[in-house]
Amino acid sequence: MMHYGTVSVEMKANGVGGVVTALCLMSREGDEFDWETVGKDIEHAQTDYFYKGVHKTGVDGIIHAFPDGGTIDSDYHTYTIEWGPKRTIWSIDGFTVRTLERSSNFEDGVYKYPNKPSYIKLSLWDGSGCNGTAKWSNGPINWDESPDTYVSYIRKVNITCNPEYNKVITDNDDELSD
């Protein structure tokens, strides 16, 4: 888990309709930041976020084209979430595509900005499960005409935790030998 920091994943996602490849920061309380690619829409990736399990972006998140072109399934792209206590920045291949300011999410006397320690999750999943998700993921997958296995490729993962909010443990720490 981490509480504020930067996560970057260099990956080539699956382009089949209904297949979702994602980088998520997800807390036990339902706070979440996402980078998602959905099959068939190979020229875009999507950003999204939730506060305590409530979808804050809209039905399908915000869709982004790749700044230097390319597609999700024929090119490696670096997807980054830079999460801080005052703002979150999503970028593709080093280009900022979205910025979320904590101050812009003040509702009913509360900043509805994800702020709980979160797991870093990389996933490849079948979006065919229910009608709304299947439509969003350009599915459902036609399993009768498809291979049994779908693959996305991850070439590199970089994680930098903000030391002001995280206890960073290294291989040299005595705690690991206990």
Percent of the chain with pLDDT over 70: 93
Residues labelled as active-site residues:
32, 36
**Does pLDDT of 34 surpass 80?**
yes
Q: Report pTM.
A: 0.90
Q: Which tens digit of pLDDT belongs to each residue from 103-146?
A: 999 999 999 999 999 999 999 999 988 778 888 899 898 888 87
Asked if 87 and 99 count as a contact pair (C-beta separation under 8 A), the reply is yes
φ/ψ of residue 103, rounded to 5: -60, -20
Mean predicted confidence (pLDDT) in 141-162 = 91
φ/ψ of residue 13, rounded to 5: -90, 165
How many structural domains does the chain have? 1
State the pLDDT at residue 58.
Answer: 67
Mean predicted confidence (pLDDT) in 147-175 = 84
> Cis ω on the peptide bond leading into residue 117 (within 30° of 0)?
no
> Which CA distances in Å does 36 have to 3, 6, 21, 164?
21, 17, 6, 28
Among candidates 68, 63, 38, 35, which has minimal Cα distance to 49? 35
Q: Which helix (H) or strand (E) segment is 112 a member of? A: none
Instruction: Report the distance separating Cα 152 and Cα 44, nearest Å.
Output: 15
Structural domain harbouring 12: 5-177
Q: Is the sign of the CA dihedral 52, 53, 55, 61 positive or negative?
A: positive
State the pLDDT at residue 149.
Answer: 86
Instruction: Report the distance separating Cα 87 and Cα 176, nearest Å.
Output: 33
CATH code, 90: 2.60.120.200
Asked if 32 and 20 count as a contact pair (C-beta separation under 8 A), the reply is no
Instruction: Report the distance separating Cα 124 and Cα 77, nearest Å.
Output: 16
Which residues of 52-175 form beta strands (DSSP E)? Answer: 54-55, 62-65, 77-83, 87-92, 95-101, 106-107, 110-111, 118-126, 153-161
State the pLDDT at residue 173.
Answer: 56
State the pLDDT at residue 84.
Answer: 98
